[in-house]
Amino acid sequence: MAVTESDVREAAGAVQDPRLRLSLAELGLVGAVEVGGGDVRLELALPVPDHPGLDQLAAEVRRALGALEGVDSVELRTAPMDDEGRARLRDRLRAAMGASPGNDDGARQGGGGPGRPLGHEEGKANPFSRPGARTRVVGVSSGKGGVGKSSVTVNLAVSLARLGHAVGVLDADVYGFSMPRMLGLDETPVVIEDLMVPPVAHGVACISMGFFVGEDQPVIWRGPMLHKALEQFLADVYWGTLDYLLIDMPPGTGDVALSMAQYLPRSEVLVVTTPQPAAQRVAQRSAYMAKKVGLALRGVVENMAWFTGDDGTRYELFGSGGGQQLADELAVPLLGQVPLVAALREGGDVGVPVTVADPGGEVARAFEALAKRMEELGPTRVFRSELTVR
């Protein structure tokens, strides 16, 4: 049976855009179609020439069309989408984020108190603070620098993605950003109209100040600008519908926790610490800060907990018991212990997280266990509009 134009449109329209996670029909990406016998020509109407994930998208369209009965050859071309199409696409993406144009419902949620989101422009509500938003937002913090927040963020993100979740990472360490390097990202976000589409590596979408300034350039700004940057990373990024958004927090207690409390009042916080009992006071301070601004402390992760020798013996190089001690003091669970492994540092340096490079190894197993604990715990507080008693 001969293939028809409408068969081709239907098959191409049903393909999911790998980055935007909507169908090509919904996105309006299927342009002109020509069918001559078994030869099919299709134009992909692209909003931007460097459409995110284009190679993968093209491969999937080819596969879908090639599978149609009666198709002998498939020729794909790209063409710029017209202004109207782009405006429609933008509205579609905003709607998928739950913030339809002119509908600033994120700013109305909460009704006062410390958790109230601030400062949204019309139509640019941050989707994570809306009632019914299903994304669990998890901040990874510590009192001190260098205890492994970023390493925990990256590897936990990869492990959650491996369990089948849609995961994003927001690098809130705007001065000392490290996420692009640790995830091995050399792509930068693609801007479609007024939305940034984050690049994806190892199944994890990522936004970082590192995409906008060079690695060796100093970033000099004050608190309010940082607050604004965080807002943009939430409201002007097309995250799609995430199950988890992990936030790599800068060291210390300060501004970011406060901004998170305002923009992401339902965030959960993990505190990373090392095993030496003497380090706990500093870690405790950051935990109390999070608590004070109303964020939910979820638990403690002890990093560099031990080193396993070739003979299988565990050496506790940095002492022991610190993670449990901190958890007890904060009255939260010790959610995981991550061993000290050279491959973890190397993975971060070369941009292939150890959970990707050695998925069956000791560290990957520790992160998988942590990811499963996070799943089990479920969100701290569930706000679902459909469950509201009127």
Ligand X SMILES: Nc1ncnc2c1ncn2[C@@H]1O[C@H](COP(=O)(O)OP(=O)(O)OP(=O)(O)O)[C@@H](O)[C@H]1O
Contact residues: ligand X, CB under 6 A = 142, 145-151, 173, 176, 178, 251, 303-304, 338, 340-341, 344-345, 348
Nearest CA to 327 among 317, 337, 312? 337
126 vs 303, which CB is nearer to ligand X?
303
109 vs 280, which CB is nearer to ligand X?
280
Provide, rounded to whole angstroms, the least separation between the CB of residue 140 and Mg ion.
Answer: 9
The answer to whether 150 contacts Mg ion (rule: CB under 5 A) is yes
Q: Which does 142 bind (CB under 5 to 8 A by kind): ligand X, Mg ion, none?
A: ligand X
13 vs 180, which CB is nearer to ligand X?
180
Q: Which does 171 bind (CB under 5 to 8 A by kind): Mg ion, ligand X, none?
A: none
Q: Which does 309 bind (CB under 5 to 8 A by kind): ligand X, Mg ion, none?
A: none
Q: What are residue 369's phi and psi, to 5 degrees?
A: -65, -40
Provide, rounded to whole angstroms, the least separation between the CB of residue 143 and Mg ion.
Answer: 13
Q: Which does 345 bind (CB under 5 to 8 A by kind): ligand X, Mg ion, none?
A: ligand X
Provide, rounded to whole angstroms, the least separation between the CB of residue 86 and ligand X.
Answer: 38
Alpha-carbon distance values, 326 to 156, 254, 353 (Å): 20, 20, 27
Q: Which does 26 bind (CB under 5 to 8 A by kind): ligand X, Mg ion, none?
A: none
Q: Which does 146 bind (CB under 5 to 8 A by kind): Mg ion, ligand X, none?
A: ligand X
Asked whether the beta carbons of 117 and 108 are under 8 A apart, the reply is no
139 vs 240, which CB is nearer to ligand X?
139
155 vs 325, which CB is nearer to ligand X?
155
149 vs 202, which CB is nearer to Mg ion?
149
Provide, rounded to whole angstroms, the least separation between the CB of residue 150 and ligand X.
Answer: 3
Provide, rounded to whole angstroms, the least separation between the CB of residue 145 and ligand X.
Answer: 3
- Stretch of 141-149, 266-274, 287-295, 347-355 lying at the interface with Mg ion (CB under 5 A): 141-149
Alpha-carbon distance of 156 to 373, in angstroms, equals 11
Asked whether the beta carbons of 250 and 243 are under 8 A apart, the reply is no
Alpha-carbon distance values, 200 to 91, 116, 180 (Å): 22, 30, 10
Locate 14 and state its tokens.
């049903």
135 vs 151, which CB is nearer to ligand X?
151
Amino acid at position 318, single letter? F
Provide, rounded to whole angstroms, the least separation between the CB of residue 270 and Mg ion.
Answer: 13
149 vs 266, which CB is nearer to Mg ion?
149
Q: Which does 340 bind (CB under 5 to 8 A by kind): Mg ion, ligand X, none?
A: ligand X
Provide, rounded to whole angstroms, the least separation between the CB of residue 348 and ligand X.
Answer: 4
Asked whether the beta carbons of 381 and 294 are under 8 A apart, the reply is no
Provide, rounded to whole angstroms, the least separation between the CB of residue 330 and ligand X.
Answer: 18
Comparing every residue's Cβ against Mg ion, the nearest one is: 150
The answer to whether 141 contacts Mg ion (rule: CB under 5 A) is no
115 vs 251, which CB is nearer to ligand X?
251
- Stretch of 36-44, 143-151, 186-194, 226-234 lying at the interface with Mg ion (CB under 5 A): 143-151
The answer to whether 286 contacts Mg ion (rule: CB under 5 A) is no
Provide, rounded to whole angstroms, the least separation between the CB of residue 146 and ligand X.
Answer: 4
Asked whether the beta carbons of 177 and 208 are under 8 A apart, the reply is yes
Q: Point out which residues bind Mg ion (CB under 5 A).
A: 149-150
